[in-house]
Amino acid sequence: MRLLGLSEAQMVDRARRVSDAETVPDLVSVFARGAWTTVAEPGDGAAGGVVAALGPAVALRAITERWSAERVRARCESRNIAEVAEAVAAAWSSGATRWRSRLDGANVAAAFDLASRTGVRLVVPGGARWPERVVDLGVHAPVALWMRSRVDEQDAAFGRSIALVGARAATGYGEHVTLDAASGLVDRGFTIISGAAYGIDGMAHRAALAGRGRTIAFLAGGLDRPYPSGHASLIDRIATTGAVYSEVPCGAAPTKWRFLQRNRLIAASSAATVVLEAGRRSGSLNTAGHAASLGRPLGAVPGPVTSAASAGCHRLLREYDATCVTTAAEMAELVEPVSASEAESAGGSASTGDAARSVLAVLNRRSATTVGQIADRTGLTSSEVQSTLGLLDLEGAVVETASGWSRP
Amino acid sequence: MRLLGLSEAQMVDRARRVSDAETVPDLVSVFARGAWTTVAEPGDGAAGGVVAALGPAVALRAITERWSAERVRARCESRNIAEVAEAVAAAWSSGATRWRSRLDGANVAAAFDLASRTGVRLVVPGGARWPERVVDLGVHAPVALWMRSRVDEQDAAFGRSIALVGARAATGYGEHVTLDAASGLVDRGFTIISGAAYGIDGMAHRAALAGRGRTIAFLAGGLDRPYPSGHASLIDRIATTGAVYSEVPCGAAPTKWRFLQRNRLIAASSAATVVLEAGRRSGSLNTAGHAASLGRPLGAVPGPVTSAASAGCHRLLREYDATCVTTAAEMAELVEPVSASEAESAGGSASTGDAARSVLAVLNRRSATTVGQIADRTGLTSSEVQSTLGLLDLEGAVVETASGWSRP
Query: ipTM strictly over 0.95?
Result: no
Q: Which fold has domain B354-406?
A: Arc Repressor Mutant, subunit A (1.10.10)
- Find, in chain B, the residue whose alpha carbon is nearest to that of A43: B402
Question: Per-residue DSSP letters for B19-75?
Answer: ----SHHHHHHHHHHHHHHHHS-TT-HHHHHHHHHH-HHHHHHHHHTT--HHHHHHH
- Side by side, the strands of the sheet bearing A323-324 are A121-123, A145-148, A243-246, A215-219, A191-194, A161-165, A272-275, A298-300, A323-324
Residue B315's nearest CA partner among B272, B279, B263 is B279
Of A323, A394, A400, the CB nearest to B318: A323
Contacts of A364 (CB under 8 A, 6+ apart): A406, A407
Pairwise CA distance, residues A196 & A346, whole Å: 34
Local structure of residue A337 (DSSP, 8 states): P
Confidence category of residue B390, pLDDT binned at 50, 70, 90: confident
Of A156-165, B197-206, B399-408, the range with the highest mean pLDDT is B197-206
Q: Using the predicted structure, report yes or no on whether residue B349 has a pLDDT greater than 60.
A: no
- Find, in chain A, the residue whose alpha carbon is nearest to that of B256: A383
Count interface pairs A-B at CB distance under 8 A: 154
- For the segment B229-255, the average pLDDT, to the nearest whole number, is 96
Q: Using the predicted structure, report yes or no on whether residue B352 has a pLDDT greater than 50.
A: no
SS3 call for A76: helix
Pairwise CA distance, residues B256 & A389, whole Å: 11
Of A283, A327, A403, the CB nearest to B46: A403
Distance from CA of A31 to the nearest CA of B (A): 24
Residues of A in contact with B46 (CB under 8 A): 402-403
Distance from CA of A241 to the nearest CA of B (A): 30
Q: What share of chain B is helix, strand, coil (3-state, %, to 5)?
A: 55, 10, 35
The pLDDT tens digits of the residues spanning B140-193 come to 999 999 999 999 876 678 999 999 999 999 999 999 999 999 999 999 999 999
Supply the pLDDT for residue A407. Answer: 81
Supply the pLDDT for residue B353. Answer: 64
Of B87, B326, B401, the CB nearest to A314: B326
Of A49, A286, A390, the CB nearest to B402: A49
Distance from CA of B240 to the nearest CA of A (A): 33
Distance from CA of A117 to the nearest CA of B (A): 32
Residue ranges of chain B that CATH labels 1.10.10.10: 354-406
Supply the pLDDT for residue B306. Answer: 97
Residue ranges of chain A that CATH labels 3.40.50.450: 149-335
Mutate to test the interface with B, among A287, A326, A327, A399 (most CBs of B within 10 A): A326
Residues of B in contact with A177 (CB under 8 A): 305-306
Residue B242's nearest CA partner among B144, B129, B132, B154 is B154
CB contact under 8 A, B318 and A306: no
B138: left (phi over 0), alpha (psi -120 to 50) or beta: left
CB contact under 8 A, A400 and B45: yes
Residue A402's nearest CA partner among B51, B340, B229 is B51
Mean per-residue pLDDT over chain A, rounded: 91
CB contact under 8 A, A402 and B139: yes
Residue B269's nearest CA partner among B119, B142, B139 is B142
- Residue B30 corresponds to which amino acid? V
Residues of A in contact with B289 (CB under 8 A): 393-395
Strands B399-401 and B215-219: unpaired
Per-residue pLDDT of chain A (408 residues; tens, 9 = 90+): 788 889 999 999 999 999 999 999 999 999 999 999 999 999 999 999 999 999 999 999 999 999 999 999 999 999 989 999 999 999 999 999 999 999 999 999 999 999 999 999 999 999 889 999 999 999 999 999 999 999 987 667 899 999 999 999 999 999 999 999 999 999 999 999 999 999 999 999 999 999 999 999 999 999 999 999 999 999 999 999 999 999 999 999 999 999 999 999 999 999 999 999 999 999 999 999 999 999 999 999 999 999 999 999 999 999 999 999 999 999 999 998 776 555 544 443 444 467 787 788 778 776 788 887 787 677 677 777 887 887 788 777 888 877 788 887
CATH architecture of the region A149-335:
3-Layer(aba) Sandwich (3.40)
CB contact under 8 A, B400 and A280: no
Of B45, B256, B283, the CB nearest to A402: B45
Confidence category of residue B124, pLDDT binned at 50, 70, 90: very high
Pairwise CA distance, residues B294 & A368, whole Å: 21
Supply the pLDDT for residue B154. Answer: 64
- For the segment B374-393, the average pLDDT, to the nearest whole number, is 77
Pairwise CA distance, residues A180 & A184, whole Å: 6
CB contact under 8 A, A393 and B289: yes
Q: Using the predicted structure, report yes or no on whether residue B310 has a pLDDT greater than 90.
A: yes
The pLDDT tens digits of the residues spanning B107-117 come to 999 999 999 99
Contacts of B108 (CB under 8 A, 6+ apart): B4, B34, B35, B38
CB contact under 8 A, B350 and A45: no
- For the segment B385-403, the average pLDDT, to the nearest whole number, is 79
Pairwise CA distance, residues A132 & A52, whole Å: 16
